[in-house]
Structure 1
Amino acid sequence: MAFQTIERHGLVDRVAEQLTRAIVTGRFVPGQRLGEAEIARQMGISRAPVREAARLLEQRGLLTSRPHRGFAVRLPTLEEVDDLYSLRLCLESFAGSALLARGADVDLDPLRRQLERLLETAERGDQAAVVEEDLRFHLLLCELSGNRRLQRVFSELTGELHLVIALVGQIFDDPCRLAQVHCPLLEALEAGDGERLQQELDNHITVAWKEVRALFQQRQQKPARPGEGEA
C-alpha cells in the first residue's frame, strides 16, 4: 500500500490524515519508526510537511519523538491504558447522566444517524473508517450532554483513544461486532433508562479495556519480528 500524492492546500492536515489511517489500519505497528524521506517521496512532497504532520500526531498521542531518530508509533504502557480507560469511563458515564437529565431538550437523531453510519461502515469492512466512526459516536454522546468542558476534555483524549481503539479493532475479526455493541447504548438512551445506560456504558468500555490490556500483555511477551523498526 503506497501513500497517495496530495495537493498543497491543507497539506499538513492531509499528511496527518494519511499517517493516521496507516497507524490505525496496522500498516505502522506500535514502536515502528516512520521513514520521513520515503513517506515524502511516496506523497510527492518535501520532508517538512511530513515532519509537521508527525509533530501534530505526537500532540494527539499517536506518535512519539526520539532524539536523532525521528518519530515512531507510540505504544502506551499498561498504566497509561488503565488511566485512559478509567478516565473515559468516568467521562462517558457523566455524559450519559447529563444527557438524560436534559430530557426532552435532547434530539437523539444525530446519534441515531451516527450509529447508522457506523454500522454501514462496518459492513464495508473498512477498519480505519470504523475506528473513526466509533470515536465520533462517543464524542457525539459527550456533545449531547450539553457540557462544553466535558466535550473539550474528551476531544483531547481522542488521539490516544484512536490508537487504542484501533488495537481493539484488530482483535475483532468482524468489524460489525465492534459496531453492533453500540446499539444497546442508543436503546437505553431512547428508553430514558439511566440505570440501564450506566450498565451498558460500563460493560461497553470495560470490555474494550480488558481486550486492550490482554493485547498489550501479548505484545510484551512476543519478541519483535525481524526487520520491524522502520517504515
Structure 2
Amino acid sequence: MSRHYIEPLVQKSTPSIIADKLREAIGHGELPPGSQLLEAQLARELGVSRGPLREGMQRLTQEGLLISVRNRGLFVLEMTPENVEDMYVARSAIERAAAARVVRGDRAAAAEELLAVVDRMGRAAARNREAAVGEADIEFHRLLVELSESPRLRRVHETLITETRMCIHALAESYRASERRVEEHRAIAEAIGSGDRRLVDRLLVEHMDDAVRRLTGDTRTPTVAADAAETTPA
C-alpha cells in the first residue's frame, strides 16, 4: 500500500475551521460534556463573526457532538453510559470494516506502522505517562481507519474519535490499566500482519467491549459483542 504525503491542498472555509477548533476543544475537555456554548463569548474568543460560528456549530450539531435544547441553547453531548456504549457500537462497525480492508491490502506495511504506535504507547506506559498513552491509543485507531483508504469511513470515524476523547477525559480514572491497553493494541496489529481476518475482527470486538466495561463500570455483556456475533466477516 503506497501512501502519498505530497497532495493538493484543500482550502477550508471559515465554518469548517471553526468546526475543527470546537471539535478539538470538545475532545480535549476544554468544552466539557454538558457545558453550554455561549455564542457571543465564543465569537469573541475565536475572533470570528456570529454567522460562520453558527454554521460551524450547526455542523457539530449534525454530527451529534452538540445538542440543541429548545429555549436554552446548544450544549456539549454528555457521555452517559448509554451514549458510551452506543458510540462504541458505531466505532466497532467502522473499525472492523476498516480492518477488513487493511488485511486485504499491504497488511505487512500496515502492521509495521501500527506496531510503531504501539511501541510509543508502551514507552509512555513504562513512564506512567497516562496522557501520552491515551494519545497513542487514539492515534492507533485513527491510523487503522486511515490505512483503509476509505474517505467515508475516515469522515465518520473522526466524530467518533472526538467522542472517545471526551470519554477518556471525563472518565480517566476508570480507563487506566495501561499495560493491558498496550497488549490489546499489539495483538490487533500483529493479527493484521498475519492476515487472519477472523482473529483481527474478534480482537477488535473484545477490545471495544473491554473499553465499554471500564468506562461505564457495567459488567454485563456489551452490545458490541452481541451485534458482532451476527456480523463477523467471513
What TM bracket, shorter-length normalisation? 0.5 to 0.7
1:46 aligns with 2:88: no
Q: Report the Cα offset of residue 94 of structure 1.
A: 4.0
Q: Which residue of 1 aligns with 2:207?
A: 204
The normalised TM-score by structure 1 is: 0.65
Choose the corresponding residue for 1:22, options 25, 30, 55.
Answer: 25
Alignment of 1:79-228 (within 5 A): 79-102=82-105, 104=106, 107-108=109-110, 109-112=112-115, 134-135=137-138, 137-145=140-148, 148=150, 152-153=152-153, 155-172=155-172, 177=178, 180=182, 181-214=184-217
- SS at structure 2 position matched to 1:107: helix
Asked if the contact 2:91–2:160 (Cα under 8 Å) also holds between the matched residues in 1, the reply is no
Q: Which residue of 1 aligns with 2:230?
A: none
Q: Report the Cα offset of residue 142 of structure 1.
A: 3.5
Give deviations 1:170-228, integer Å, cap 9, x for gaps.
Answer: 4345989397353332122223344543343123211112233339xxxxxxxxxxxxx
- SS at structure 2 position matched to 1:71: strand
- SS at structure 2 position matched to 1:31: coil
Q: Which residue of 1 aligns with 2:15?
A: 12
Q: Report the Cα offset of residue 153 of structure 1.
A: 4.4
Q: Report the Cα offset of residue 63 of structure 1.
A: 0.7
AA paired with 2:24?
A: R
Q: Which residue of 2 aligns with 1:55?
A: 58
Give deviations 1:79-120, integer Å, cap 9, x for gaps.
Answer: 444333234324433433443344x57631554555567778
AA paired with 1:166?
A: M
Q: How many residues align?
A: 202
**Identity over aligned pairs, percent:** 28
C-alpha distance in 1 between matches for 2:217 and 2:26 = 20
Q: Report the Cα offset of residue 73 of structure 1.
A: 0.2
RMSD: 3.9
Q: Once structures 1 and 2 are overlaid, which stretch shifts more, 193-202 or 108-117?
A: 108-117
AA paired with 1:61?
A: G
For structure 2, the residue ranges without an aligned partner over 5 or more in a row are 1-11, 219-234
Choose the corresponding residue for 1:74, options 64, 74, 77.
Answer: 77
Asked if the contact 1:24–1:163 (Cα under 8 Å) also holds between the matched residues in 2, the reply is yes
Asked if the contact 1:127–1:169 (Cα under 8 Å) also holds between the matched residues in 2, the reply is no
Q: Which residue of 1 aligns with 2:232?
A: none
Q: Report the Cα offset of residue 72 of structure 1.
A: 0.8
- SS at structure 2 position matched to 1:182: helix
Asked if the contact 1:167–1:212 (Cα under 8 Å) also holds between the matched residues in 2, the reply is yes
